[in-house]
Chain A
């Protein structure tokens, strides 16, 4: 899995314990208000997790290019001084459009700090 430069800026890496999960360490570069993660960094993490999930799903069908159409993010809890994980789930992979959901969590996956819904345009080869 190759991640783009922006994922490097966020400090993202693949979780070695679970395939498809990305980890973002808590660092100065992803801080918002003092002591908390920036909502934009959490969103960036979820967008990357969504793209990873969609790329995997597309690869099984011969690949294709993806373009973001829109993203809706709900912020549920403040992101604290600990690693954040995110995972994307493709809810529907159509011919031209994919619907993807992503969630971000810290200690407990059942208590997400944020969730997002994305629509992507797909250009198949």
Chain B
């Protein structure tokens, strides 16, 4: 049983009514989580295409998903929700996403200080050993994380 004092953040419950705003518009949904990581899924959709000739997804939706997955991973590592904002995010596009495939975004928080959280992640479209993007970034909590 979870006591009231035990910190807890459940991303699945966080999205139990589906995702609103930009995440909902992209069709993002929860996939899995662990102690300091979250996986979100971005199903392939024609309206997310960046190159009409090839049908390849635009890079923006993948960046949006990685921003959200890494943001959630901070609250998981922390054990609770804290308001915070992305300070910076760098994404390397290793290869194009395969048209038709769902993209999985794995976000992980590896360090939290008083006001900054450090995150990293990868995106793949089926094989985690063949990632299509890598990200690294930081979040800042204006009122602090502790």
- Check B47 against A43 for contact (C-beta < 8 Å): no
CA distance A38 to B20 in the complex (A): 11
- Given that A38-B22, A47-B60 are contacting pairs, would A5 and B46 also be in contact in the complex, using a CB cutoff of 8 Å? yes
User: A68 on the interface (CB 8 Å rule)?
Assistant: yes
Contact partner, A68, options B85, B89, B93, Cβ 8 Å: B93
- Please indicate the chain B residues that have their CB under 8 angstroms from the CB of A28 in the complex: 20-21, 25
User: Which residues of A sit under 8 angstroms from B98, Cβ to Cβ?
Assistant: none
Given A43-B60, A43-B89, A69-B93; A6-B22 close (CB under 8 Å): no
How many Å lie between the Cα of A95 and that of B9 in the bound state?
49
Which chain B positions have C-beta within 8 A of A47?
Answer: 58-60, 63
**Chain-A contact segment, one of B30-38, B48-56, B72-80, B115-123:** B48-56
Query: Does the CB pair A29–B25 fall under 8 Å?
Result: yes
Tally of B interface residues using CB under 8 Å: 35
Q: Which of B60, B86, B87, B90 contacts A44 (CB 8 A)?
A: B60
Q: List the B residue with the shortest CB-CB distance to A28.
A: B21
Seen from chain B, the residues whose Cβ lies within 8 Å of a Cβ on chain A are 20-26, 46-52, 57-61, 63-65, 67-68, 83, 85-93, 96
**A64 touches B (CB below 8 Å):** no
Closest chain B CB from A38 CB (angstroms): 4
Interface pairs (10), CB distance under 8 Å:
A6-B61, A9-B48, A28-B20, A31-B20, A33-B83, A40-B63, A47-B59, A71-B63, A73-B86, A75-B89
Instruction: Give chain A residues whose Cβ lies under 8 Å from the Cβ of B91.
Output: 70-72
A76 to B49, CA, bound (A): 28
Write out the residue numbers on chain B whose beta carbons fall within 8 Å of the beta carbon of A8. Answer: 47
What distance in Å separates the Cβ of A104 from its nearest Cβ neighbour in chain B?
Answer: 13
- 0/1 string, A54-92, CB within 8 A of B gives 1: 000000000000011111111100100000000000000
B47 touches A5 (CB 8 A): yes
Extra pairs beyond A29-B25, A71-B59 (19, CB < 8 Å): A5-B50, A5-B52, A6-B58, A9-B25, A9-B47, A9-B48, A28-B21, A31-B20, A31-B21, A39-B64, A39-B86, A40-B22, A40-B63, A40-B67, A47-B63, A67-B93, A69-B92, A71-B63, A75-B88
Tell whether, in the assembled complex, residue B50 and residue A78 are in contact, meaning their CB atoms are under 8 Å apart: no
